[in-house]
Amino acid sequence: MNSKIFSALMGAVLLAQPVLVPAAEQGFLSIFNGKDLTGWEGNPKLWSVKDGAITGQTTAENPAKGNTFLIWTNGTPSDFELRCSFKLTPGDSNGFANSGIQYRSKVFDPANWVVGGYQADMEAGPSYTGILYEERMRGIMALRGEKVVWDKEDKKQVVGSFGDAAAIGAAVKKGDWNEYVIIAKGNHLQQFINGKQTIDLTDDCEAKRAMSGVLALQLHAGPPMMAQFRNLRIKKL
């Protein structure tokens, strides 16, 4: 057989082979194409794609007037597992960078891309990365290392611990890429960073809990900073 024909046939065979997905990634759907913001909406002056990552950036000349968000437009997930990588970079000597992943949230002000609800928090500082914060609502719901139940009367009950908050925080790589995992199933919420569980929360307050809602990425008001996200994928549970 002619070598060129053989090479062409082998190439066709290789192209026809199924793509093998690692077992740990089966069932996940990518929600960011790595090229542009298709499927997402936010302030175009603040959000873009740089080096294959969703990038929210403020500067002294182009600040965020308030907390603003990049909103995923293709659904309002209820029970799911979300995985992504994130990196925070302060923009000046203040060392400030703060962001978060909103889930089961709602849009309060569509014109200004303002979102509120559960937030997997992250920051450049030592305290808040990994906590569960409820934007525009109940505030801090679970600190790093806490197992929490919010009871039917909307009171916080700390019922367990994963260990020292600072020790868990030591797994966060400052100024580098980190892996965030969020699992929401029923009224049970869990968050993990770099394989370490950071919070476990059961929300029994039917009047205030959210069982579904939008996903969004936060760009915090304040000093200049940059928040980046890549490899965003979700699996329905």
Which residues contact residue 15 at a Cβ distance below 8 angstroms, ignoring those fewer than 6 apart?
A: none
Residue 86 reports pLDDT greater than 70: yes
Residue 63 reports pLDDT greater than 50: yes
pLDDT over 70, % of the chain: 92
- Looking at the chain, the number of H-run helices and the number of E-run strands are 2, 17
The whole-model pTM stands at 0.91
Report helix, strand or coil for 169: helix
Task: Indicate the residue type of 226.
Answer: M
pLDDT over 90, % of the chain: 90
Calculate mean pLDDT across residues 38-65: 97
d(CA 104, CA 99): 17
Using one digit for the tens of pLDDT, what is the confidence trace for 180-202? 999 999 999 999 999 999 999 99
What tokens does 234 get? 């979700």
Using one digit for the tens of pLDDT, what is the confidence trace for 92-138? 999 999 999 999 999 999 999 999 999 999 999 999 999 999 999 99
- Which ranges of 117-204 does DSSP label H, i.e. alpha helix? 165-169
> Whose structure tokens read 């929600």?
31
d(CA 236, CA 76): 11
Calculate mean pLDDT across residues 34-52: 98
d(CA 164, CA 31): 34
Whether residue 132 contacts residue 141, with contact meaning beta carbons closer than 8 Å, is answered with yes
Using DSSP bridges, classify how beta strands 53-58 and 196-203 pair: parallel, antiparallel or unpaired.
unpaired
d(CA 72, CA 38): 9
What tokens does 115 get? 């979102």
24: left (phi over 0), alpha (psi -120 to 50) or beta: alpha
d(CA 202, CA 192): 15
Which helix (H) or strand (E) element contains residue 10? helix 3-16
